[in-house]
Amino acid sequence: MKTPIKKSWMIASALTIGMAVLTPLQAGATSVEPTTDVTVQIEQQITGTIKSIHGDGIELKGRDGKNYYISFYKFSEEQLEQMNLVEGQEITVEGGVVEDYSDFYTFEVYKKHLPKEVTNEDLSKLEKMFNEMKKLEKELYNDMTEAELDKKFEEMNKIYEEMHKITKPYYIASWQPQTFEEYFGDYEFSENNIVIAENDKKQLKAIYEEWVKLEKDGQEEKANEKMEKFHEILKPYFDELYPPLTFEEYMEGFELVDIPAETLAKLKNLYEDTRKAEKDDNTDLLNKLYEEFYDIIDQYIKPQTFEEYMADFEFEVGEADSKQLKQLYEEILKLDKKEQEKIDEKWEAFHTILEPYFKANKEVLISASKLSINGQEYLPQ
């Protein structure tokens, strides 16, 4: 049986007029075994403590000792605000077990973000295409070749483009664009004492108003060109708002050991060259310089101890396994980086020992249909 690919893909709702993309969501498969192509739904009730909060989902430690990821996709943003969830809080959730993170994003969830004017006929077309997209998602596997993956993503993009053609007129019809002053105020230049030249501001306002008109006329390509021009004018001001880090500031993020002064000087020259390559938009040179920069850095980074490395895992490893893992870890650190094949073999043995622990502590994925917190119950609206 093939292993599902770890990078699940979800259809991104068109929150901005003119955008049509596929958004990746990093996710692994859960322990639920599908019996058909339809997502498995098993209603459960779980009480536990919130470990962490991720926008419209939470990680929960159940009273049963299991780890859960609870999705609140079915609930509105207003409801999520009312819940006022905080870490350490105890809650009770009812919902269905799903196979994969992408299964949280059902057509019902997608439909909630569509303009209410979408006709039943178009909704039927969209649902059919949405389900085709989800089917293609399920056909993505880790052992696919690059060409096979490209072909699959090309199919998915074609479907998305067809969906976008249906939805865009509705978004345009219901779109109430901000005034230039409102839109420009979001950049927060004035709050940071950055003064925009009067001539630039006039150009920006004219371009913005042309962009709005082109978007309303459905001329997406020309609208995108206008927005590119808009950001070209703003680039010097963005550079002032977000100045690049100096070499010294950049290096503060590394914990280096015994680095010679002449090597540090070479790194500084490389760093300054990367800034120039970035300014010149020379991507090939930029990648080459960064590769050289990090090849040098890697030689002087202080490695984590085994204990520090293992501290990142939420589970404890048995004494015998821990002893084997430590031995493998320290052997890996001693190997020359040129001995990549041996390094890979050691890491494979390391992760083989850890695999049962990962399986035992894997999160159960729950699509919430009811939440009880502090005596208050919430149902999807």
The pLDDT assigned to 40 comes to 41
CA angle 327, 301, 293 (to 5 degrees): 130
Model pLDDT, residue 142: 66
The closest of 94, 100, 26 to 60, measured between CA atoms, is 94
Report the alpha-carbon distance of residue 169 to residue 356 in Å, rounded.
Answer: 51
CA pair distance 20, 12, nearest whole angstrom: 8
- pLDDT mean values, one per 10 residues, the chain (381 residues): 35 33 30 36 83 91 92 90 91 92 90 92 96 90 83 93 94 92 89 91 96 92 95 91 90 86 94 91 92 90 91 91 95 87 94 93 92 90 79
pLDDT at 19: 33
C-alpha 378/C-alpha 83 separation (Å) is 8
Q: What is the structure's pLDDT at 87?
A: 94
Q: What are the distances in angstroms from CA 309 to CA 80, 234, 313, 332, 359?
A: 35, 43, 8, 13, 19
- Classify the phi-psi angles of 240: left when phi > 0, otherwise alpha if psi is within -120 to 50, otherwise beta: alpha
Q: What gap in Å lies between CA 30 and CA 36, rounded to an integer?
A: 15
For residue 309 the two structure tokens come to 């490395």
- The confidence score (pLDDT) of residue 90 equals 94
Q: How far is CA 249 from CA 45, 162, 345, in A?
A: 49, 47, 37
Please say whether the beta carbons of 86 and 51 come within 8 A. Answer: no
Residue-level pLDDT at 28 = 28
Would strands 364-373 and 67-71 be described as parallel, antiparallel, or unpaired? Answer: parallel
Predicted local confidence at residue 372, as pLDDT: 92
- The per-residue pLDDT for 42 is 56
How far apart are alpha carbons 47 and 93 in whole angstroms? 6
Q: Mind giving me the DSSP string for 101-116?
A: GGGGS-HHHHHHTS-T
Q: For residues 159 and 131, give the distance between their C-alpha atoms in angstroms, rounded to a whole number.
A: 10
Please state whether the predicted TM-score (pTM) of the whole model is above 0.75.
Answer: no
Q: Which of 280, 275, 333 is nearest to 303 (CA)?
A: 333
Percentage helix, strand, coil for the chain under 3-state DSSP, each rounded to 5: 50, 15, 35
